């Protein structure tokens, strides 16, 4: 029997919550504890991190190199190669504007062509963080002084790496940042398939983090 193609789509659903507490509130994120009613009628406790959301930018130059940066990440005790990314600091903030800001602040670069590459939940079993990953092309350096960096960002390294080299690093288990992994593999699939023109526009709706124009 032949297989029929099936287009899958995640769907909104919300199970009943009988009690909610916030045992920890940090600078940008917090921890929430919910009592959730299961399908069999039982009630269980679920702890998860509440996150404002993030944006990330896979910036591709005219030589098909990806702009990456190397940054220390204390929870995993490693310096990771990543693509520029940052928090949605303002509720309802336009994710494209946030992505343009992060590209400027972390790489001192601007881009003329922007598209949505992928929308992901980073760790949906324990955190509600949603990330929109953009593809940015037609890059140019920003004039003027560089944005002043602090803390971990003061030690960042920047590089431009061919896309196939990033894919090889992912498959070899040498590169681990989730936005870099998703971005590099998704763009590779796009280029091998219907092309960049098939991607969603930069202002495409994002139900996980609704925004104003």
- 171, with CB counted inside 10 A (0-12, 13-18, 19+), is exposed
Catalytic, out of 153, 174, 194, 197? 153
Distance separating alpha carbons of residues 204 and 116, to the nearest angstrom: 7
Distance separating alpha carbons of residues 61 and 191, to the nearest angstrom: 15
Distance separating alpha carbons of residues 208 and 128, to the nearest angstrom: 9
Catalytic annotation present for 153 = yes
Sequence-distant (6+) residues with CB within 8 A of 98 are: 55, 86, 87, 88, 89
- Please list the active-site residues: 153
């Amino acid at each position: 029997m032949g297989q029929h193609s099936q287009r899958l789509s995640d769907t909104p659903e919300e199970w009943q919550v009988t009690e909610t507490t916030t045992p920890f509130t940090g600078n940008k994120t917090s921890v929430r504890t919910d009592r959730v009613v299961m399908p069999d009628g039982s009630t269980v406790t679920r702890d998860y991190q509440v996150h404002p959301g993030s944006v990330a930018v896979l910036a591709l130059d005219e030589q098909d190199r990806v702009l990456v940066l190397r940054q220390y990440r204390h929870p995993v005790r490693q310096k990771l190669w990543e693509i520029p990314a940052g928090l949605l600091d303002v509720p309802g903030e336009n994710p494209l504007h946030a992505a343009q800001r992060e590209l400027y602040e972390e790489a001192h670069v601007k881009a003329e062509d922007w598209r949505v590459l992928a929308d992901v939940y980073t760790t949906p079993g324990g955190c509600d963080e949603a990330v929109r990953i953009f593809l940015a092309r037609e890059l140019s350096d920003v004039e003027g002084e560089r944005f002043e960096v602090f803390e971990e960002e003061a030690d960042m390294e920047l590089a431009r790496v061919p896309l196939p080299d990033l894919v090889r690093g992912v498959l070899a288990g040498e590169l681990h940042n989730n936005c870099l992994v998703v971005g590099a593999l998704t763009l590779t699939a796009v280029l091998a398939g219907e092309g960049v023109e098939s991607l969603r526009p930069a202002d495409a709706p994002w139900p996980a983090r609704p925004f104003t124009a």
